[in-house]
Amino acid sequence: MAYRFSFKSYRLPLRAPLRTAHGVWAEREGILVRLEEETGRVGFGEIAPLPWFGTETMVEAEEICRKFGATVDAGTLEAVPARFGCVRFALAGARSGTCHLIDDKESAMRLPVTALLPVGRTALVTLPAKLEAGFLSFKWKVGVGAVDDELGILDDLLAALPSYAQLRLDANGAWDRRQAARWLKRCAERPVEFVEQPVPAADEAALLGLAADYPVTLALDESVTGLAAAQRWQGLGWSGVFVIKPSLAGPLEETAAWITTTKADVVLSSAIETALGRAAILRTALTQPLTRRALGFGVGEIFGDRRWDGPILGPVLDRSWISAVNPEEIWNALN
């Protein structure tokens, strides 16, 4: 089958810079792709690479798109190497039409969403409004400030958190093993759902050792950028959580099949895509039982523009959010 192919690159400022252990993130770059079949059916996808996270670069993704030309066949699309997971995610989504409006016949499943708290003591200021909005799950980025300061804030956050709510900690690989051990000792026997990527992805021995030495559930994030990496960690016997950013991992159907087949304990998480890319992921999450944990998509109004953010996403996701996202309108908004 042959397709008419076109793409548009974007660079969008974030409403407020996002601070993590990797540094300050002020803008999002990506590419929207459009495939049109001979029948006239159109599909859209989003390439949202994070090279510092281990994906392909924007330069590589744009080069692949340029080489496709105005017309591309299915075999060429399928031949994109596995290491270009973001490109493969977008092309698979455009081909399958998973970014299209949700069908009325599909599942009416409702899924909880985790709210992202700001770094530092500002998290304590933000928490009450998020609780009032109905969020029951929260994620706090750590490894950004001094350890003693952040541990003190952790105590205050847990004291302010109702017994029915859960807190996730995400270090983005910022700690060494000694620092991670200190945090895990503090978290033991406390209402922390899991600690995400406590040490760098390269220190696999420390990750496995910490998981064995402490009762706190650990989660992999930077360690499992692609699906092959997650499968390898399963082979190593990882029994913790896999934080999977589907837009980085490759075709959604492959990721979903792996989760369904292996019963992996997964959190589906955003890589700060536009509403077009998020709609593809969330539509799949609502139609297949892929996770028992709250979705990591509560990033808030990250762009400060409804065209890219989509509708306000509250503490529970249902089909109404996806139904309100029109990929063609988002495509047309990029000049």
CATH code, domain with 56: 3.30.390.10
Whether 323 and 211 map to the same domain: the answer is: yes
Confidence of residue 105 (pLDDT cuts 50, 70, 90): very low
Q: Rounded to an integer, what distance in angstroms lies between the CA atom of residue 154 and that of residue 159?
A: 8
Whether 77 and 137 map to the same domain: the answer is: no
Looking at 73, 96, 119, the residue that finishes a domain is 96
104 domain residue, yes or no? no
Whether 42 and 150 map to the same domain: the answer is: no
For residue 176, give the CATH number of its domain: 3.20.20.120
Q: Rounded to an integer, what distance in angstroms lies between the CA atom of residue 264 and that of residue 230?
A: 9
Domain containing 47: what range?
2-96
Confidence of residue 194 (pLDDT cuts 50, 70, 90): very high
Whether 81 and 139 map to the same domain: the answer is: no
Whether 43 and 130 map to the same domain: the answer is: no
Whether 78 and 120 map to the same domain: the answer is: no
Q: Rounded to an integer, what distance in angstroms lies between the CA atom of residue 314 and that of residue 173?
A: 28
Give me Rg for the CA atoms of the chain. Answer: 20
Confidence of residue 98 (pLDDT cuts 50, 70, 90): very low
Q: Based on the structure, what is the number of domains in the chain?
A: 2
105 domain residue, yes or no? no
Instruction: Give the least confident one: 73-87, 96-110, 248-262.
Output: 96-110
pLDDT at 65 over 80: yes
pLDDT average, residue stretch 320-331: 94
Whether 279 and 136 map to the same domain: the answer is: yes
Which one is catalytic: 130, 139, 141, 185? 141
Looking at 71, 96, 121, the residue that finishes a domain is 96
Which residue's structure tokens are 């499943």? 109
Which one is catalytic: 67, 105, 185, 245? 245
Q: Rounded to an integer, what distance in angstroms lies between the CA atom of residue 49 and that of residue 275?
A: 15
From residue 57, alpha-carbon distances to 60, 132, 201 in Å are: 5, 40, 19
**pLDDT tens digits, residue range 278-289?**
999 999 999 998
To 10 degrees, the CA torsion angle through 174, 176, 182, 184?
70
Whether 195 and 292 map to the same domain: the answer is: yes
Whether 89 and 131 map to the same domain: the answer is: no
Q: Is 105 annotated as catalytic?
A: no
Whether 287 and 177 map to the same domain: the answer is: yes
Whether 38 and 170 map to the same domain: the answer is: no
Looking at 64, 96, 128, the residue that finishes a domain is 96
Whether 229 and 135 map to the same domain: the answer is: yes
Q: Rounded to an integer, what distance in angstroms lies between the CA atom of residue 95 and that of residue 284?
A: 15
Q: Is 185 annotated as catalytic?
A: no
